[in-house]
Amino acid sequence: MWFFFFCSGRYITFIMDPFQYVYVIRNSKQLEFYEFADKMASRTFGYPSLSNFPKLNENLHRIYQYLQGKPLDIISDHMMKNLQHIFEWKCSQATDWKTEKMYKFCSFLMFEASFITLYGRDPAADGHNVISEIRDKFTKFDANFPYLVANIPIELLGVTKKVRQELIHHFLLRNMAKWMGGSEVIQARKDILEKYELLQDYDKAAHHLAFLWASVGNTIPATFWAMYYLLWHPEALAVVRDEIDHLLQSTGQKKGPGYCIHLTREQLDSLVYLESALNESLRMCSSSMNIRISLEDYILKLGGNQEVGLRKGDWIALYPQILHMDPEIYEDPEVYKFDRYIENGKKKTTFYKGGKKLKYFLMPFGSGISMCPGRFFAMNEMKLFLILFLAYFDVELVEKKPIGPDNSRMGLGILLPDSDIAFRYKIKSF
C-alpha cells in the first residue's frame, strides 16, 4: 500500500506497508539519499555542498567506524565518567528535595556530558561557561531548525543567522585547539577536514556544528521522554530501578555520591527492562521520515504484483511512526508499556502484522544507507543517564500534568515535548 502527496512541484510517494519497506531500503542504486541530505544539511548549517570536494562525503562516512566496536566502548566509558562528574555536582545541591523542570534538566546534563565526551573541554577556569554559552545558542538555533530544513531563508528567521554564525565561531580550529580530552571521532573529522585546503576555516567549523546537532539534537528529547514515561509509571520505574540495583550489587559496586560506577558493554546490554523502557519511549516519540530521491524514471517493484511508477526527482518516503502506532503490531499503541520489548525475561525481537513476521518494527534511527551511525552510542548515553540518575537519587513528579509531543518537527526525528514539567529529586539515603 502506498499513496502520493504533491508538494512544491514534486510527488512524494509514501510507502505505508512495512512489508514493502525493504524494496526501498535495499534499492540504494536508483533511490539516492546523499545528494538530498547534502542539499538540506549544507543550507541548514551554512557550509558549501560536499559535492564540490572530491570524496569528502565518503571520507566523513568512513569516520563513523569510531562510533562502533572498541572506540564505542572508549567513548561510552568517557560519557559514564563525565555524567558521574556532573551528577556528583548535582548531589551537592540536592541533600534535600530539589525541584527542577525536567526538559531543562535533561538538556543541561546531556548537552554538557555529550559535549565534553565528544569535543573535550577547555581546562581553563571558564571551560564550563563556554559550554553553557554554546548550549544556550544551540537551543536558540534548534528552535528554528525545522524552518531551515523547510528551506525558509535564514534571513527571515530573526536572530538565527547571527546565532548560527556565533555557534560556528566556537568551532574554529583555533578555539577547538583549546579543548582537551575529546573523542577519536571528532579528532578524525578534524583531520579529514584539514586535508581539504579549499574548505575555508569557517566551513570546517560549520561541519562540526552539524555533527554537534546530530549528536545531541535527538538525544536530549529522547532522554526527556524516557525519564518522563518512567516517572509517570511507578510500576515501570520500580522494575527498572530494581534491575539496575541488582546489577550494581552483583558486580560489587556501591551507588551514591563518592562511589565510582563502571559498567561494561555486556553489563549495559544485560539491562533488558531498561532497554525495553527506552525502546518503548522511542517508539512513542520518534517521528523521523526516511526520504529517498528517484535518480531516473522507473518502476519500483514492491513485491507481489505491486509497483509504483517514479519520475526522475520524485521523492519516496517511509514514515515509521505509522508502523510504531499500528494496532495490528502493537496492541494499544498509544499506551506506554515499559516491557513491550521483553519476552520470557529476554529481549523481544519478533513482532508480527497479520500473522507475518516483520523485518522492521522499530525504526527511530532511520534505515539502510541513512541509518544513524550514532545509534549505539545514543542508546548507551541514555542508559547511562538513567542508571546514574536512579543510582544517585530518589525522584518523583511534582506536577501531574500529561505532556504531549510538539508536532512542529514531525518527520525530523525525536519530537520535543509541548511543555516542560516539574519534578523533584534528592540524594538517596543509604
CB 334 → ligand HEM: shortest distance, Å? Answer: 20
Question: How many Å apart are CA 377 and CA 367, to the nearest integer?
Answer: 17
Quote the longest CA-to-CA distance of the chain: 67
CB 54 → ligand HEM: shortest distance, Å? Answer: 17
Answer yes or no: is 7 a known binding residue: no
**Of 367, 55, 60, residue with least CA distance to 210:** 60
Question: How many Å apart are CA 145 and CA 139, to the nearest integer?
Answer: 10
**Interface region with ligand HEM, contact rule CB under 6 A, candidates 213-221, 339-347, 392-400, 421-429:** 213-221
* Cell reading at 164: 548560527
Answer yes or no: is 43 a known binding residue: yes
Answer yes or no: is 260 a known binding residue: no
Does residue 220 interact with ligand HEM by CB under 6 A?
no
Cβ atoms within 10 Å, residue 4 = 11
3-state SS class at 429: coil
Which of 16, 74, 214, 329 forms a contact with ligand HEM (CB under 6 A)?
Answer: 214
Does residue 76 interact with ligand HEM by CB under 6 A?
no
Does residue 365 interact with ligand HEM by CB under 6 A?
yes
Q: How many residues bind ligand HEM (CB under 6 A)?
A: 22
**Interface region with ligand HEM, contact rule CB under 6 A, candidates 93-101, 294-302, 306-314, 364-372:** 364-372
CB 191 within 8 A of CB 199: no
* One-letter identity of residue 174: R
**Of 184, 151, 214, residue with least CA distance to 8:** 151
Which of 290, 294, 321, 380 forms a contact with ligand HEM (CB under 6 A)?
Answer: 290
**Interface region with ligand HEM, contact rule CB under 6 A, candidates 123-131, 189-197, 207-215, 239-247:** 207-215
What are the residues whose beta carbons fall under 8 Å from the beta carbon of 255, sequence distance 6 or more?
245, 248, 261, 391, 392, 428, 430
Does residue 321 interact with ligand HEM by CB under 6 A?
no
Q: Which residues does the annotation place in the binding site?
A: 43, 218, 372
Residues near ligand HEM, by CB under 6 A = 37, 67, 211, 214-215, 218-219, 222, 286, 288, 290, 364-366, 370, 372-374, 377-378, 413-414
